[in-house]
């Protein structure tokens, strides 16, 4: 959520920054709400002062054994008036908070202006045989390239069974390809915990709405989620009807990892907090417009290894570079060509102040495809969650939260299959994955 203090002090800055994201902020609406809030607060403070004055007067009259009934009658009316003002103030605050919950984060000054992905700015490219090299394309194969769907037909990647069980945008794996998928996740987790200092976590796959409001998925992106309803018809042990509640399948373990600090004051000595988890992710792909219906690129259910860091504000942009390097390291160890792209204002996520995408080379499409997105949300999520730490001045300050894919497991499987394919349809297993595959070097049809 945007900083209310910044809105009050420098609303023109907020308007300008949101305009960079293509959003028009309703200044008139905000000013009206602010004016109403101030009026109520002033009236409340005046009544509180009046209550204190009357209390003193009552005490004085009673000490002098004089009649205080008239003054007491005046004082007796104040609590009800204060209650009414409190209700009005809460109504104004709720309207403001509900509105601000739908407003995206402000972009960092270093984020380039742009309308969509065409305006993103490439930062660097990396190749297994040459390291960082700009203005180079991956070398072509000397045989006809197959996509991962065709390769997978004889390796255990079964989309027909998935469609029979669940519908489109699901996959079913068996045998070697299922093991390769698991190996990728284990390799990523081990690298992030052993080399990058993250603590491995296992988190719930279903969360309540409050959790999603905290990290920014709700209310704006409900249609992108899958959810279930519990309660309403069930009776508890005391015979009471259990209230109806919507529970949501997580679209990323960023949600559960970041929410670890929800409604808490973290010790400064405990920062930074580095967390990682492997989990399934569930997305409805609402608005995807039929894109990537073939194969594993865009699924309703997929696996991801997530990285989250919770840090002091002054270190968050160094942390963004560090986390991007952590994701890059996975691709380098897998020896997959990739590039790093800085997202423009029109393409960045709702809660992000700055985002880097890592895009891996997909030979069958002859293009780069996103495999990781690393974002600094600054205090945007922390304000929504109530996540703070005590700074050096002894004051409570919001933490900064960062998240990144380290990596999307299904897309990593696609990249490995296609980049390591052989003319006979077999897949060479990357060296770093062989210990997880029982020493197997080649996955054969």
For the stretch 36-43, contacts whose Cβ atoms lie closer than 8 Å and that sit 24 or more positions apart, written own/partner, are 36/92, 37/89, 37/92, 37/93, 37/96, 40/85, 40/88, 40/89, 40/92, 41/89, 43/85
pLDDT at site 6: 96
Q: What single DSSP character describes residue 307?
A: E
Q: Are residues 379 and 315 in the same domain?
A: yes
Same domain, 48 and 159: no
Report the sign of the C-alpha dihedral through residues 18, 23, 27, 32, in that order. Answer: negative
CB 198 within 8 A of CB 274: yes
Q: Is 137 annotated as a binding residue?
A: no
Check whether 403 is labelled as a binding-site residue. yes
SS3 content of the chain, % helix, strand, coil (to 5): 40, 20, 35
- At residue 60, the 3 state secondary structure works out as helix
Mutual angle of helices 27-63 and 69-100, in 10-degree steps: 160
Q: Do 323 and 361 sit in the same domain of this protein?
A: yes
CB neighbour list of residue 214: distance below 8 Å, 6 or more residues apart: 258, 259, 262, 381, 384, 385, 386
98 marked among binding-site residues: no
CB 78 within 8 A of CB 43: no
* pLDDT of the residue at 290: 67
- Do 428 and 441 form a contact (C-beta atoms < 8 A)? yes
Query: So what's the pLDDT on residue 234?
Result: 72
Side-chain-side CA neighbours of 414 within 13 Å: the count stands at 28
Give the CB-side neighbour count of residue 369, counting CA atoms within 13 A.
21
- 431: nearest Cα among 317, 327, 303, 333: 333
Give the domain-ending residue among 76, 101, 126.
Answer: 101
Query: Quick one: pLDDT at residue 288?
Result: 66
| pLDDT at position 168 | 93
**Is 412 within a domain?**
yes
Q: Is 283 annotated as a binding residue?
A: yes
Q: Are residues 150 and 288 in the same domain?
A: yes
Instruction: Render each residue's pLDDT in the chain as its tens digit; 445 residues.
Output: 999 999 999 999 999 999 999 999 999 999 999 999 999 999 999 999 999 999 999 999 999 999 999 999 999 999 999 999 999 999 999 999 999 999 999 999 999 999 999 999 999 999 999 999 988 999 999 999 999 999 999 999 999 999 999 999 999 999 999 999 999 999 999 999 999 999 999 999 999 999 999 999 999 999 999 999 887 777 777 878 778 899 999 999 999 999 999 999 999 999 999 999 999 999 998 766 667 778 999 999 999 999 999 999 999 999 999 999 999 999 999 999 999 999 999 999 999 999 999 999 999 999 999 999 999 999 999 999 999 999 989 999 999 999 999 999 999 999 999 999 999 999 999 999 999 999 999 999 9
Establish whether 40 is an annotated binding residue. no
d(CA 439, CA 429): 9
Angle at 28 between CA 25 and CA 31, to 5 degrees: 105
Region label for 218, one of left (φ > 0), alpha (ψ between -120 and 50) or beta (otherwise): beta
With CA atoms as reference, report the closest residue to 330 among 180, 133, 181, 191.
191
Torsion, Cα 357 363 367 372, to 10 degrees, reads -10
Nearest to 391 by CA among 308, 307, 315: 315
Is 284 marked as binding a ligand?
A: yes
Instruction: Name the residue among 389, 369, 385 with its Cα closest to residue 377.
Output: 385
Q: Based on the domain organization, do 48 and 97 belong to the same domain?
A: yes
CATH number at residue 397: 3.30.930.10
Phi, psi dihedrals of residue 43, rounded to the nearest 5°: -65, -40
Residue 306 annotated in ligand binding: yes
**Within a domain: 16:** no
Question: What's the pLDDT score for residue 238?
Answer: 82
Phi and psi dihedrals of 249, rounded to 5?
Answer: -75, 135
User: pTM value?
Assistant: 0.92
pLDDT at res. 242: 77
- Residues 407 and 411: their CA atoms lie apart, in Å, by 8
In a domain, 243, yes or no: no
DSSP helix/strand/coil, 65: coil
Same domain for 47 and 83?
A: yes
| Pair of tokens at residue 19 | 């305009």
Is 253 assigned to a binding site? Answer: yes
Helix (H) or strand (E) run with residue 248 in it: strand 245-249
Structural domain boundaries, residue 51: 26-101
Largest CA distance in the chain: 107
Three-point CA angle 115, 117, 118, nearest 5°: 80
Residue 408, strand partner residues: 304
Report yes or no on 381 lying in a domain.
yes
Q: Is 405 annotated as a binding residue?
A: yes
Check whether 288 is labelled as a binding-site residue: no
Residue 245, in any domain of the structure: no
Q: How many domains does the chain have?
A: 2
Residues 97 and 124 in one domain: no
The answer as to whether 236 is a domain residue is no
Same-domain check for residues 254 and 367: yes
Nearest to 226 by CA among 307, 308, 299, 304: 299
In a domain, 228, yes or no: no
């Amino acid at each position: 959520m945007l900083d209310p203090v910044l809105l009050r002090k420098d609303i023109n800055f907020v308007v300008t920054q949101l305009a960079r994201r293509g959003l028009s902020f309703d200044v008139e609406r905000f000013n009206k709400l602010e004016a109403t809030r101030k009026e109520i607060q002033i009236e409340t403070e005046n009544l509180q002062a009046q209550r204190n004055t009357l209390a003193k007067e009552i005490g004085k009259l009673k000490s002098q054994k004089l009649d205080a009934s008239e003054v007491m009658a005046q004082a007796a009316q104040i609590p009800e008036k204060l209650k009414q003002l409190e209700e009005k103030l809460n109504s104004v605050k709720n309207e403001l908070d509900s509105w601000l919950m739908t407003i995206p984060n402000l972009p960092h000054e270093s984020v380039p202006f742009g309308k969509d992905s065409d305006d993103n700015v490439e930062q660097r490219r990396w190749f297994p045989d040459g390291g960082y090299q700009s203005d180079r394309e991956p070398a072509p194969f000397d045989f006809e390239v197959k996509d991962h769907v065709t390769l997978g037909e004889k390796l255990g990647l079964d989309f027909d069974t998935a469609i029979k069980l669940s519908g489109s945008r699901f996959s079913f794996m068996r045998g070697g390809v299922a093991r390769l998928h698991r190996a990728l996740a284990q390799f990523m987790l081990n690298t992030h915990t052993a080399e990058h200092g993250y603590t491995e976590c296992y988190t719930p796959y279903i969360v309540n709405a409050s959790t999603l409001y905290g990290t920014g998925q709700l209310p704006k992106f409900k249609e992108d989620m899958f959810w279930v309803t519990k309660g309403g018809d069930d009776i508890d042990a005391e015979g009471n009807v259990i209230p109806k509640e919507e529970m949501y399948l997580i679209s990323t373990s960023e949600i559960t990892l970041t929410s670890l600090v929800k409604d808490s004051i973290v010790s400064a000595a405990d920062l930074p907090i580095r967390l990682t988890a492997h989990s399934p992710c569930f997305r409805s792909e609402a608005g995807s417009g039929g894109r990537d219906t073939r194969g594993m690129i865009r699924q309703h259910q997929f696996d991801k290894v997530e990285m989250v860091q919770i840090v002091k504000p002054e270190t968050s942009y160094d942390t963004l570079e560090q986390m991007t390097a952590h994701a890059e390291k996975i691709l380098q160890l897998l020896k997959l060509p990739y590039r790093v792209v800085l997202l423009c204002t029109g393409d960045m996520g709702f809660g992000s102040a700055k985002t880097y995408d890592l895009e891996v080379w997909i030979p069958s499409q002859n293009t780069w495809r996103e495999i990781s997105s690393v974002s600094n949300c600054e205090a945007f999520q922390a304000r929504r969650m109530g996540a703070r730490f005590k700074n050096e001045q002894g004051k409570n300050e919001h933490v900064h939260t960062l998240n990144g894919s380290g990596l999307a497991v299904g897309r990593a499987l696609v990249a490995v299959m296609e980049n390591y394919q052989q003319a006979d349809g077999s897949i060479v297993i990357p060296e770093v994955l062989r210990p997880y595959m029982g020493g197997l070097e080649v996955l054969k049809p």
